[in-house]
Amino acid sequence: MKSSRVFASLFVLAGVTAAITACTSTEISQNPTVNTVSGPSASTANSIYDFKMKDIDGKEVSLGDYKGKVLLVVNVATYCGNTPQYEALEKLYEANKDRGFAILGFPANEFGQQEPGSNDEIKKFCTSKYNVSFPMFSKIVVKGDGIHPLYQWLVASAPYHDDVEWNFGKFLIGRDGKVIGRFNPKVKPDEPEITKAIDSALANSK
């Protein structure tokens, strides 16, 4: 009788394990847009150049391709009160790209589920409505469970280490690939706090 009970318990446990595995697999298959390129952990990365990501079209991109540039890394969303910042971001990019500046946009759905669409939908929206031409990347997790190592590294390397507050948080990267500034989502891209910091970083030849 005891062995029968043990066998029954093991059978139930195996069934629960299989169900959990199936559920997890379903979640992954239903969310194919998340940026999943492997790379270093936050603790082993020396600079942003150590990371490889997927662009908005799913192509692997080494962030080392931006070596020597000043970068503004922004987590973006389509249905947010901050979404009109796309316009100022594009103007900022156009005004400074020939000086060695780039903006890297990372769609994220952690805040109010305001970026629910696919990569294709996100690309269509930001290019058709705001004429975005700066580099856009595939969806990424920027806070909480499943946070990408890139954002773990950004937060850990920034002047303050709080989680990303909301959509359109901004990290400024110097020419050496290190974080040199962080700006609250409410700070607009064309405000002096950001533009002066970018000008200062661009003036630094190192």
Q: Point out the catalytic residue in the list 42, 80, 187, 202.
A: 80
% of the chain exceeding 90 in pLDDT: 76
Q: Higher confidence at residue 68 or residue 204?
A: 68
Question: How many residues in total does the chain contain?
Answer: 206
**3-class secondary structure per residue, 9-77:** HHHHHHHHHHHHHHHHHHHHHCCCCECCCCCCCCCCCCCHHHCEEEECCCCEEEHHHHCCCEEEEEEEC
**pLDDT (average), residues 8-37:** 41
172 has which bridge partners? 72, 181
What is the predicted pLDDT for the residue at 2?
42
For the chain, what are the domain ranges? 1-30, 34-203
Q: What is the pLDDT of residues 174-190, one digit of tens each?
A: 999 999 999 999 999 99
The residues, any chain, with a CB within 8 Å of residue 9's CB and separated by 6 or more, are: none
What architecture (CATH level 2) is domain 34-203? 3-Layer(aba) Sandwich (3.40)
Mean confidence (pLDDT) of the chain: 86
Place of tokens 């009109």: 84
Q: Higher confidence at residue 13 or residue 70?
A: 70
Angle formed by the axes of helices 119-130 and 85-96, to 10°? Answer: 70
Token pair belonging to 170: 């901004």
What is the predicted pLDDT for the residue at 205?
72
> Does residue 23 have an active-site annotation?
no
Q: What is the pLDDT of residues 55-75, one digit of tens each?
A: 999 999 999 999 999 999 999
